[in-house]
Amino acid sequence: MASFGWKRKIGEKVSKVTSQQFEAQAADEQGLIDNDDIHWLHEAKRKKGLLLEDCLAKSKRLKDEGAVLAENERYREAVHKWDEALQLTPEDATLYEMKSQVLMSLHEMFPAVHAAEMAVQRDPHSWEAWQTLGRAQLGLGEITLAIRSFQVALHICPASSELWNEDLCWARKLHEQQKKAVKTETATQEGTAQGETSEEPIPDYDFESDEILAVCAAIAEKEKTTLPSKTVVIMSASGTVETVTEKEECAAVPDGSVFIKAR
């Protein structure tokens, strides 16, 4: 009977050369796969870069076209161009700042303030954006906010004489005028209120008082003494004329009980 030994390991009969060839082939295939992945990623990045360059170039072209339109006072068309540019480059603060200026020229103050705020959010270090925001706030009558915006712009660019002499100086003058107007209005309202309260009420006379009765009696006595006399002319049958003067009798001094008592 034949005896059986331990089972050999799988692949033990495969020659060493064959095994090395198989490993080399597997490594080559893996290298090709890795190279394909790298090539695909590189191609995707390249296409994305080209697309971004195209967007930037197109946005710049639209920005320049809008600037030309704005210089020719074709403001609506300029806003339309810049809106298209913002679709391509939504983080461009300059586009929002220019759009705010044009909207102020169109007297659309609320959209102008919104566009300037967007510009400041995109680029907080742009003193032009803060300046435009301050001017838009002045258009809305927000003088205090405008002064703050101009101060921030001056903090970024303290050498700007335009900010000092025109924007901030004008805003402060308006602020002083506003305070004076408020004081004048307050004083007028207070004067009106004092005038209303200072009116003397009509006195409520007591017609039953002794003083009133005494005055009435004095008036009656005066009328009695100054009562005119009555002159009568009598002509007789013989033709003689005789003038007779008679004084009218006056009633006695009125008693206090005679007066009608009323209030």
Run means of pLDDT, 10 residues per run, the chain, 263 residues? 44 56 65 55 58 81 92 93 92 94 94 96 94 94 93 92 91 90 82 62 57 69 60 57 56 49 41
146 and 242 housed in the same domain: no
CATH code at position 149: 1.25.40.10
Domain count, the chain: 2
Range of the domain at 117: 55-190
pLDDT at residue 27, rounded to an integer: 64
96 and 170 housed in the same domain: yes
147 and 209 housed in the same domain: no
Paired tokens of 161: 């004489």
pLDDT at residue 189, rounded to an integer: 78
List alpha helices for the chain, DSSP H.
16-71, 75-88, 93-105, 109-122, 127-139, 143-156, 161-162, 169-198, 210-225
